[in-house]
Amino acid sequence: MIPPLTQAALGIASGALVGFSLGLVGGGGSILAVPLLIYVVGITDPHVAIGTSAIAVAASALVNLLHHGRAGHVKWKCASVFTAAGIAGAFFGSTIGKWIDGQKLLVAFALLMLVVAALMLRQRSSIGRHDVALNRENLPRLLAVGLGAGGLSGFFGIGGGFLIVPGLMLATGMPILNAVGSSLVGVTAFGVTTAANYAASGLVDWSLAATFVAGGAGGGFIGAAAARILATNSGRLHAVFATMIALVGCYMLVHTLGIASA
């Protein structure tokens, strides 16, 4: 059993890492938050870790959205349509996710991360169009991809940035820096939707969520600044995004399968 003060300190440090990830690549918040809560902070129930991370990631994403919004990186209309479709998906996905065995959920989560990392590496040479705007051509794609990303976000109890960033790029062709900033609209909304569903079942540790949010505010400021620097080379930002997802996915897969076979 980890002492409360130590657990709080670990929560703040973990939150700073999550905030940095959200500011840097618009995603990875829950990818990092769930394993950090389980393997570092010491939460033993995967469902409580998922519910708690959803609260923390939503709050951290909102702070990072303000950073990127002020810098002009957010395509608000595209992000709003994507998010509106995703909220419905997040509600139904999170309802189904609560019925699935926690260890199986973590294995599926890790496998999904590896798939997304591979797709992002394939797209690392993509520059994108800075003049992207909502139109009749990309509206159906935004709705369809948004619904799917929201459903997966809710099912795995994640903010969904690592799904939303490539989803926005796929649906509209926007550059990765704009996708990073715009994704935070969806991360915030999906996180709130998922967290509310888990909180209704008593699957949120509110004190730990507060420490995560506190750490995330500082980490997010640094991450947003780093994103502006890395965005001068879009391939580099793609590689950072994909590598981070792949490493954490491999760790989760090995650790979870090791527990299952023990």
pLDDT (average), residues 10-20: 87
Q: Which of 201, 200, 163 is nearest to 82 (CA)?
A: 163
Tokens encoding 169? 């790029």
φ/ψ bin of 157: left (φ > 0), alpha (ψ from -120 to 50), beta (otherwise): left
- 26 secondary structure, DSSP code: S
pLDDT in tens, 35-85: 888 888 888 888 888 888 888 888 888 888 888 888 888 999 999 999 999
Q: From CA 133, how far away is CA 198, in angstroms rounded? A: 35
pLDDT at 234 over 60: no
- 233 secondary structure, DSSP code: S
User: Which pLDDT does position 232 carry in this prediction?
Assistant: 66
What torsion do the CA atoms of 91, 92, 93, 94 make, to the nearest 10 degrees?
50
User: Which pLDDT does position 139 carry in this prediction?
Assistant: 93
